[in-house]
Amino acid sequence: MRQRAKKYETEKMIGIVANPKTGEILAMANDPSFDPNLRDITNYHNDAVYYAFEPGSTMKTFTVASAIEEGKYNGNETFQSGSYTEVAGAPINDHSTLKYDGGKYTFDQGFQRSSNVAMSILVNEKLGIDTYFQYLDRFGFGKKTGIDLEDEQTGMFPSEDVDTRTKLITSFGQSITVTPIQQIQALTAIANDGKMMKPFLIKKIVDSNTGEIIEEKKPTQAGQPVSPDTAKQVRDLLERVVDQEADGDPDTNGSTGTAYYNENYQVAGKTGTAQMYTDGKIEQGKYIYSFLGLAPKDDPQLVMYVMAQDPKHDGKKAVVDVFNQVLERSLSYLEASTTSDSKSSLPTEITIENYRGKNPKTISEQLTKKNLQPIVIGEGKKVVQQFPEEGDSPLLLKSKLFLVTEQPTMPNLTGWSYRDVENFCKLVDIDLQPVEGTGYVTKQSIKEGVKLKEGDKLAVTLE
């Protein structure tokens, strides 16, 4: 996440990974972070539990769940997208890409395309605002989760005396503030057949001298906002958001989450895009991008939330990069079940061909689909060297394959093994200096993007 925060120049990034069946927090990160060894600290808080903000459309997950649980949701019923004017005040508008089929959609399609109008109709005309707010309370919003960390914030609901429109737009994540940890806790209910699990970090504390267990925590259910049937139906809808062909032509289906599609695992989740405010006024051009997801869809092993605030370029890409990489590696580590299609279509080994003279981008895309990790070295137009070579032993899935172009540059080696670095140096004919430490690369002496020449000296640190 720190790499992506630097690359996309984000103002803030937050990431959380949890086990939805227990509430255990498996990973949590913030950027900028707090390091007492630094003199230029810019953030003294753990924003995963402290930072409360308007989340945007990730909240639609819980709006739809509430309507389904109350028996007020008909996914095949149609509505007219565009603007909703049934309450006083400014119209509630959809984003401009909701335009196919004359703007007439089913509610299932409205959720898939992230329609604000669809959510407004559900809450105002079918569910009722008071009932909806009761469900938000049942999902744990507006109060602390009780996670074992200091300084947790509660977020904020609109006050009772505000106008109907202000209350209504909470259905798509405006005029309400929530924390990342609240969203994770709420999503455990969807992933865990309706049972919402309290998040916790410390499993047990053991006296290292005596072996005595001083404190041990057990998973704690924080509530059951919805039934198992509702949770399953919401997971199915969340998968439609991600599935590239859930509704026909992937180029025109309008799904907002296709960048999170994974060939090996059934990812389900909801995107969020929220405008930023200062002193109650919109900051033009500044957004918070996020994704709240779970996988595998039919038996979720992980729930994850990633947000990026005000990236200076490439917008949502910072969130996509972090979510996809962490999810793929984590589920592979946990040996989670792959999709049935993947089981039948993906071999366990890949035979290496001769890629010299071919376009590195095209070859990289092909190899990625085969579940390898192609490493393109340089920005040239054709491959001039490769490792492994054609005829070498087949590669196991997820193995690295190096493709060197006619203009080689230094890649980012972070996370590489010693053997990966050694193979890379031999391939581009640079000298690998004696290595410090064991494990995986954390530092490199030649910066990413620097043009390489024969005889360059590379030093790396492993941890």
DSSP states of 247-289: TS-TTTS--S-GGG--SSS--EEEEEEEEEEETTEEEEEEEEE
What is the architecture, at CATH level 2, of domain 344-462? 2-Layer Sandwich (3.30)
Least confident of 16-20, 297-301, 417-421: 417-421
Domains 2-334 and 344-462 share a fold: no
Q: What is the mean pLDDT of residues 15-37?
A: 93
**Looking at residue 246, what is its pLDDT?**
54
**Class in CATH terms, 2-334:** alpha beta
What's the whole-model pTM score?
0.74
- The answer to whether 430 and 454 have CB atoms below 8 angstroms apart is yes
Q: Kindly report, residue by residue over 196-252, the tens digit of the pLDDT.
A: 999 999 999 999 899 999 999 999 999 999 999 999 999 999 999 998 665 444 344
Q: Kindly report, residue by residue over 350-370, the tens digit of the pLDDT.
A: 788 999 999 999 999 999 888
Catalytic residue among 57, 66, 115, 120: 57
- Strands 373-377 vs 400-405: parallel, antiparallel or unpaired: parallel
The DSSP line for 214-227 is: EEE----EEE--S-
**Looking at residue 252, what is its pLDDT?**
42
Q: Which two tokens stand for residue 331?
A: 């589920």
Domain range list for the chain: 2-334, 344-462
366: exposed, middle or buried (C-beta count within 10 Å: 0-12, 13-18, 19+)? middle
With cut-offs at 50, 70 and 90, classify the pLDDT of residue 341: very low
Nearest in space to 255 (alpha carbons), one of 268, 265, 273, 240: 240
Res 102 pLDDT > 90: no
57 catalytically annotated: yes
